[in-house]
């Protein structure tokens, strides 16, 4: 099956720093990538949808200036958490899909962010 | 706005029992429905995907059904094993402002004791 990787898997940073998380589709071209956030014992909440070559579409309540998403190629999307604060500590998961409808999304293993 | 609800939130059973996890969704205009497994601190493992035109899918000891008109799905796990202990997430692909997206329920945390 299709493989999606995320890097790093773990990151600990000081409050105020920016953190970049990479999401890569390893064996297919992802026309669409998604970023989710999951707080402890909560479900995955969609943050934004990213189509290659265009600006990301953010869900209501997600600050686009704080969570910068770049989808520069068909195999790479990045999420940058700018000026991270402790409340940004969470599990961030990306997924990738080829197509624009009901095709299967393939999920990355997630990145755990801890902001001190 | 699509909302997905899963019942129960948690379930504990002895090994060998058959069990059913429930999922409901508010908007029946879905492309598909998926069941995922998530182990603590880990990513998602896709278990079953049911297209909107299908009624059920089976994989090993797992069987998932879909009744789109009533907005319900069930995941049936036969002969449960301690290794089945995990959180099971139900998600539907629905249209949104960006095209389509997966909307998740909060999950059912299953504990199977030996």
Predicted confidence pLDDT, tens digits, chain B (114 residues): 899 999 999 999 999 999 999 999 999 999 999 999 999 888 899 999 999 999 999 999 999 999 999 999 999 999 999 999 999 999 999 887 777 889 999 999 999 999
A104 confidence band (pLDDT: 50, 70, 90): confident
Q: What pLDDT score does A102 carry?
A: 61
Residue of chain A whose alpha carbon sits nearest to that of B44: A107
Q: Do A102 and B31 lie within an 8 Å CB cutoff?
A: yes
Q: Which residues of A touch B42 (CB under 8 A)?
A: 109-110
- Tell me what pLDDT residue A74 has: 87
What confidence score (pLDDT) does residue B5 get?
Answer: 96
pLDDT greater at residue A100 or residue B55: B55
User: For residue A101, what pLDDT band results from cuts at 50, 70 and 90?
Assistant: low
CA atoms of A76 and A71, how far apart (whole Å): 6
Q: What is the mean pLDDT of chain A?
A: 91
**A100 vs B contacts (CB less than 8 Å):** 99-100
* pLDDT tens digit sequence for A27-80: 888 888 999 999 887 889 999 998 887 889 999 999 999 999 998 888 999 999
3-state SS string for chain B: CCCEEEECCEEEEECCCCEEEEEEECCCCEEEEEEEEECCCCCEEEEEEEECCCCEEEECCEEEEEECCCCEEEEEECCCCHHHCEEEEEEEEEEECCEEEEEECCCEEEEEEC
Q: How many CB atoms lie within 10 A of CB A88?
A: 19
């Amino acid at each position: 099956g299709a493989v999606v990787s995320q890097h790093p898997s773990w990151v600990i940073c000081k409050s105020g720093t920016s953190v970049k998380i990479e999401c890569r589709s390893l064996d297919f071209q992802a026309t669409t990538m998604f970023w989710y956030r999951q707080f402890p014992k909560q479900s995955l909440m969609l943050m934004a949808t990213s189509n290659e070559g265009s600006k990301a579409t953010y869900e209501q309540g997600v600050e686009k200036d704080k969570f910068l998403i770049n989808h520069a190629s068909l195999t790479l999307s990045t999420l940058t958490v700018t000026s991270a604060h402790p409340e940004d500590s969470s599990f961030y998961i990306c997924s990738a899909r080829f197509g624009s409808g009901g095709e299967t999304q393939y999920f990355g293993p997630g990145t755990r962010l801890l902001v001190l | 706005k699509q909302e997905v609800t899963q019942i129960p939130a948690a379930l504990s059973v002895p090994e060998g029992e058959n069990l059913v996890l429930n999922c409901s969704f508010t908007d029946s205009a879905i492309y598909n429905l998926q069941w995922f497994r998530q182990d603590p601190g880990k990513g998602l493992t896709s278990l079953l995907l049911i297209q909107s035109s299908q009624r059920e899918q089976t994989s090993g000891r797992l069987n998932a059904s879909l009744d789109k008109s009533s907005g319900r799905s069930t995941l049936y796990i036969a002969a449960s094993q301690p290794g089945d202990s995990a959180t099971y997430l139900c998600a539907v692909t629905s249209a949104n402002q960006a095209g389509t997206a997966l909307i998740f329920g909060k999950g059912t945390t299953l504990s199977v004791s030996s």
